[in-house]
Amino acid sequence: MGNLFAGSEVVDLAIQVERNGRDFYNAVARSSRKDKPRQLFEFLAQEEEKHIVTFQKLMEKVEKYDPPEVYADDYIAYMNALASEHIFTRQGQGAEQAKKASTDLEAVNLGIKFESDSIIFYEGMRRMVPAYDQRIVDEIIEQEKLHLVKLSELKPML
């Protein structure tokens, strides 16, 4: 399999995912009635904002990528499926998804799902970038794992 995406494209997607994550966590923080979950959601929203800045700085380190005109059909199908299954790759979905959470537990469960999906998404993307850009994707994955841990720690308290 050849390389379909470059690190710059993965970072662009990561920035969009983080923006949607920030919007999601801000929205569920506003609707939370309990201090502990609200504080965690506010913290995660701030972390997402920091990640946006981090990823924008990463963008300065990666080569810009001009994709070739034609890809093999299976590459396109794989990456489109991977991206389309992750709701946070679509602009404006963070606040929209927050509306689905009527309780703090539902918000935490959605957050866990989104963070887990992000890790899977970035691990898939990692295999599709040139070797010299894989370290960028590794950094993104580590950031998402931190969110997953925080949400998992809160869940038993709800």
Q: How confident is the model at residue 9 (pLDDT cuts 50, 70, 90)?
A: confident
Structure-token pair, residue 45: 């929203």
Indicate if the pLDDT at residue 63 is higher than 80: no
How far apart CA 110 and CA 106 sit, in angstroms, is 6
pLDDT at 1: 46
Q: Give me the mean pLDDT over the 131-146 stretch.
A: 86
CB-based contact 52:11 (threshold 8 Å): no
Distance CA 70, CA 112 (A): 36
Q: What is the average per-residue pLDDT within 55-73?
A: 64
Contact 118/17 with Cβ under 8 angstroms?
yes
Listed by start position, the domains of the chain span: 7-157
Distance, in Å, from the CA atom of 141 to the CA atom of 143, rounded to the nearest integer, reads 5
pLDDT at 65 over 60: no
* Higher pLDDT pick, 133 / 37: 37
CA distance 47 to 45: 5
Contact present, 54 and 31 (Cβ < 8 Å) = no
Token code pair at residue 110: 């959605």
Across 52-63, average pLDDT: 81
- Helix (H, G, I), strand (E, B), or coil: what is residue 6? coil
State if pTM tops 0.85. Answer: no
State the pLDDT at residue 75: 56
Mean of per-residue pLDDT scores for the chain: 82
> Averaged over 5-20, what is the pLDDT?
78
Task: Provide the pLDDT for residue 116.
Answer: 92
Q: What percent of the chain has pLDDT over 90?
A: 39
Phi, psi dihedral angles at 78 (to 5 degrees): -60, -50
Two tokens at 9?
């494209």
The one-character DSSP state at 73 is H
Architecture per CATH, 7-157: Up-down Bundle (1.20)
Name the residue with higher pLDDT: 63 or 103: 103
